Structure 1
């Protein structure tokens, strides 16, 4: 069940979780995935006042969606899962949670570092209630967001050749498979982890 909503709106997130948990008498929410995210290719540290204002606006938006949105989903999902003593919550971080981007994306990098810590801290807090919290950290993926950041085919080809041992960009389905595994009984003793899916970028 995919839900489109404003993830920065606490009431909307709680309503979406409630709807997912009560969509039928035979179903209840067992897995929640916080996958909304934004990224802007903006230099945050600049001496130009106009650029500084724009960078601050980007920071506010990025932290609101990537960090606040993840926090609200964790909070709402935990509220319905913890009383039952079971459940899985998966966040979407990035390799930027471990190393800064190669182009200026300070706000994005900071937000994904925060998602990493949200994941680990929530795993500690919710573990005693039987709720597992993990994350996936994708590398450079072939997505509309990547294209929207202005990466053309030539730039992507150079990046693949110089940085990715597997020699190609990742696909959305490959990240989905990690999420599915983290949510499955096969990962029943896994919590507080960020599984990196980056083709070897960080190796």
Structure 2
């Protein structure tokens, strides 16, 4: 028995990075997967890869900043598997750090469109179906250490991630009575295709990560996926409304310099 055995599970932002790592891990843990991302070739290739290993996975190309895109992923789960048990709302984006007053309105809106509004749209569609079905369920949002501590040059992202903390608490207040658990993971710096250019630019970024993180290193995408898998599983059956740091100790020590 895997952690997610026979759980119909949506993974958004599944084309690469943490989302792809989560999809592979969830498949090994027995989940039936709906993989969603804007890029159809990426999620289709991943679904084909997982199906070849014996997993069950379908791909959905969707713009998750829109209600139609969020609802399409839920509809795909119902069409393919007849129900929805869990979701890892991982889709998000980042930006090059600049001081808060130097952010443009377009950059601010872009940070919030996917990281906060898109997460809410996905969560809303998922909660509606789970509550109506009456079987409970679990959702994990991918937030970030910026939801827990301040950092230089990332104010738009931090505002969005703090919003996710409130979203998790509000969803718990409204939907725990239906047996639906909503939590979040808050990664620190994780090596993914999105962060690799920072590491590749020179040794300075890697050195910053090492001295800013008590564990002395960046995280791996699968380490975040492992935390999400546990929160989605029945082994976390009494955990609700939590934003769980998966950050190598940054939030515990308030170090991010």
TM-score by length of 1: 0.89
- How many Å separate the matches in 1 of 2:198 and 2:170? 31
Is 1:20 aligned to 2:46, yes or no? no
In structure 1, the partner of 2:99 is 43
Q: Mark the CA change 1:148 to 1:101 in structure 2 (over 3 Å): closer, same or farther.
A: farther
> Secondary structure at 2:194's aligned position in 1?
helix
- What pairs up with 1:162-201 in 2 under 5 angstroms? 162-201=211-250
Q: 1:71 aligns with which of 120, 136, 139?
A: 120
In structure 1, the partner of 2:6 is none
**Superposed CA offset, 1:62-96 (max 9, x none):** 11111110100110000110122400011011110
- How many Å separate the matches in 2 of 1:202 and 1:143? 20
Q: 1:60 aligns with which of 96, 109, 122?
A: 109
Structure whose residues are more often strand by fraction: 2
What is the aligned length?
Answer: 193
Runs of 4 or more above 6 Å deviation: none
- How many Å separate the matches in 1 of 2:155 and 2:199? 17
Q: Is the 8 A contact 2:224 2:246 kept in 1?
A: yes
**Superposed CA offset, 1:106-138 (max 9, x none):** 111111111111111111111011111000000
- How many Å separate the matches in 1 of 2:199 and 2:107? 16
> Secondary structure at 2:185's aligned position in 1?
strand
Cα drift, residue 21 of structure 1: 2.5
Q: Is the 8 A contact 1:139 1:201 kept in 2?
A: yes
- How many Å separate the matches in 1 of 2:128 and 2:170? 16
Q: Is the 8 A contact 1:40 1:149 kept in 2?
A: no
Q: Is the 8 A contact 1:39 1:108 kept in 2?
A: yes
TM-score by length of 2: 0.71
Gaps of 5+ in 1: 47-51
- How many Å separate the matches in 2 of 1:68 and 1:122? 14
- How many Å separate the matches in 2 of 1:43 and 1:150? 21
Q: Is the 8 A contact 1:8 1:64 kept in 2?
A: yes
In structure 1, the partner of 2:89 is 34
In structure 1, the partner of 2:140 is 90
